[in-house]
Amino acid sequence: MMDKKTIWVVLGCLLAMFAWQWFVNWLFPPVPKRARSPVISEVTNRVETANGAQEVSQSSLSPPVLEPAATAAVERRPEQTVALENNHVRITFSSWGGGIRSVELLQHAARDGRVRLHAGDIPALAIRGLEEADFDVQVDGQTVTFRRAGIEKRFVLGDDYRLDCAVTVTHTNTATLLVGTAMPLEPHEPPDLLTIGWLVDTKYHYEGAKRLQEGPRHHQGPLSWGAANNQFFTLLLTPRTNAVAIHCESATVTVPAGWTGKPPPAVRAWLEVPLDGRGQVEFTYYAGPKELRRLLALGGGQEEVMHLGLFGPISLLLLRAMNGFHRLIPNYGVAIVLVTVCIKILFWPIQAKSIKAMKEMQKFQPVMAKLREKYKDDPQKLNAEMMRLYKEHKINPFAGCLPMLVQIPFFIAFYAMLRSAVELRGASFLWINDLSQPDTILRVAGLPINPLPLLMGASMIWQMKLTPQTGDTQQQKIMMFMPLIFLFICYNMASGLVLYWTVQQLLSIAQQWWSMRQPDTAPAPAAVSANK
C-alpha cells in the first residue's frame, strides 16, 4: 500500500497533466481570424497547351512589404504572375523579383484547401539585392523566362515536383538565391523538424527554427545543396556545381486561416552559388513532399532532408518495409502494426532471455529482503553480501536490462521514421482520421480526449503487473510512475507513433504472459541463506 507521500505525488502528476493543457491555451491564446482583404479585379490572359495551363495576369495589387527590412517604395509596373501546372504541382511565378510567388501541391490536402509551400513575401529563387526588381516575363509551353538588364532566369517545369533552372548574371561572379521560406502546416508539427538543411560531402547539417530565432547563421561551403523544410515537405535547391555558402534566418509570415495559438515560426535560406565563365549557373529545384522514392531519384543524398537522425539507415529500412506492407494491404495503420509485429518477432529471443533473467532474480527476492533487513544500517556490508550472493549463484543483476539495449536503436529509428513519413499525413485507421496528428475524438472543457495514449498507458500498467518484481519496494514505487510519465509525454504525439508503441506493448504483454507460464526447470534457491 502506498504511503501518503506517494499518494500526493501521484495526485500532483495527474493535476500537472491537466494543468499543462490549460497553461498552453492561456499562454498561446487562439488568434482571431483575420478580416478578408477586398477582392481586386484582374485582367488575365490564359494560354492552354498540351502540357498544362499557363496564366499571365496583371494586377493592381500594391507592392508587397519586403523582408527582412523595410525599404523605400520602388516605382514598378503592376505585378505579372505566371502559373505553370502539371498533375502534381501548380507553381505561380512573379515578375517582381523574377521568382516563385507560391507552390500549390495538387495531390496533398490541407485544412483550407491544398498544401501551399513557400510562405514568405520574397519570391523563392529571387536574387539577393534584386528582390524588388521588375522583370519582363515570357511564357513558352512549360517554360517561363524572366529578363532585365544583364540578367536572365529560365525555369522549366517537368512531369513531377521538379524545376530545371538556369540563371545568367553578367556583372558578378556569384549569385545568392532564395531557396524558400518554410513554416509548419499544423500547430502540432514537431518544432525541431522546421529546419534549414544542407549537405557537405556526405554529411547532413541543419539549423533549427529555435536557434535561428536567436539570430541568423552563415555557413561556408562547399555545399551540395540547400533546403528549407517543415515536417513533411521541402524546398530544395541543387546547383550543378557546389554552392559557396548558405545563409539561414528566421522569417515572419502571415498567420494562416484557422491557425490557433501564437503566430507560426518560419525559416528561410539563401544559397550563394558560383557562376561559370558565361555568368551562368544551372540547378534543379524540388518543391514537394519528403517522399523517399522521389528524393532518391533526385540523387546527391537529398533523402537526408527527411532528418532521420543517428539511426537513419535503420529508419530507411523500416520505411521501405512499411511501404511494402502498404502495397499488400493499402492502409498505413495496418502497415505500422505489421512492421511492429516483425520487430517483435526479430527481438523475441532477446526479450525471452530478459524475462527468464527476471524470473531467476525473483526467486532470490526473499533472501534479498533478509539481507536488506540484516544490514539496513551498513550499506557497504549489504552491497558486499549481495555481490557474494550474485557470484555464488551466477546471477547477473543486469541480465534483465542488457538485452533491451540492443532494441533501442530500432525503437529510436522507428520513432524518427514515423514522425517524418509523409505517407502518414491524412492516412486513417479505425477511429483515427490522420495518423500524423493526435487521435482527438472530442474536447472536454478545452482538454482533448485522445483514446490511443490512454490505451497505451493502460497497457503499460498491465505489463507491470505481469513483470516479475525484482527491485526493492522503493524502486517498485518509482516504476509505478512510468506509465503516467509516458502518458504525459505521448498524449499529444502523432497517433501513428502512439499506435506503434501501444501495439509493441500489447505484443510484449502476450510474450510476458506466455513466458511466465512455461515450466521452470531451474532449481529453487532453497539452500540459500542470508546468514551464509
| pLDDT tens, residue by residue, 166-214 | 999 988 889 999 999 999 888 778 888 999 999 998 899 999 999 999 9
User: pLDDT per residue over 214-262, tens digit each?
Assistant: 999 999 979 999 999 999 999 999 999 999 999 999 998 887 777 777 7
Last residue of a domain, one of 255, 277, 307: 307
334 shares a domain with 298: no
Contacts of residue 357, defined as CB under 8 A and 6 or more positions apart, other chains included, come to 396, 399, 400
284 shares a domain with 341: no
Q: Does a structural domain hold residue 317?
A: no
Helix then strand count (H, E) for the chain reads 13, 21
Percent of the chain residues topping a pLDDT of 90: 36
Query: Residue with C-alpha cell 545543396?
Result: 225
Count of domains in the chain?
A: 2
Q: Does a structural domain hold residue 216?
A: yes
348 shares a domain with 494: yes
Q: Does a structural domain hold residue 141?
A: yes
436 shares a domain with 294: no
First to last CA, the chain: 32
Mean local confidence (pLDDT), 149-161: 92
pTM over the 0.85 mark: no
268 shares a domain with 413: no
350 shares a domain with 289: no
Q: Does a structural domain hold residue 318?
A: no
204 shares a domain with 353: no
User: pLDDT per residue over 82-129, tens digit each?
Assistant: 999 999 999 999 999 999 999 999 998 877 778 889 888 899 999 999
390 shares a domain with 260: no
User: pLDDT per residue over 300-337, tens digit each?
Assistant: 999 999 988 888 889 999 999 999 999 999 999 999 99
**CA pair distance 169, 136, nearest whole angstrom:** 15
- Of the ranges 178-182, 253-257, 374-378, 390-394, the best mean pLDDT one: 178-182
357 shares a domain with 290: no
Q: Which helix (H) or strand (E) holds 93?
A: strand 89-94
State which residues form the domain around 477. 328-516
478 shares a domain with 334: yes
Picking from 144-153, 284-293, 505-514, which range would have the lowest pLDDT averaged per residue? Answer: 505-514
Q: Does a structural domain hold residue 391?
A: yes
**CA pair distance 243, 176, nearest whole angstrom:** 9
Q: Does a structural domain hold residue 439?
A: yes
Q: Does a structural domain hold residue 245?
A: yes
Q: Does a structural domain hold residue 529?
A: no
Exposed, middle or buried: residue 188 (CB in 10 Å: 0-12, 13-18, 19+)?
middle
State the amino acid at position 514 in one-letter form: W
Q: Are 332 and 424 in contact (CB under 8 A)?
A: yes
Please report the sign of the dihedral spanned by the C-alpha atoms of residue 210, residue 216, residue 222, residue 224.
Answer: positive
181 shares a domain with 70: yes
338 shares a domain with 221: no
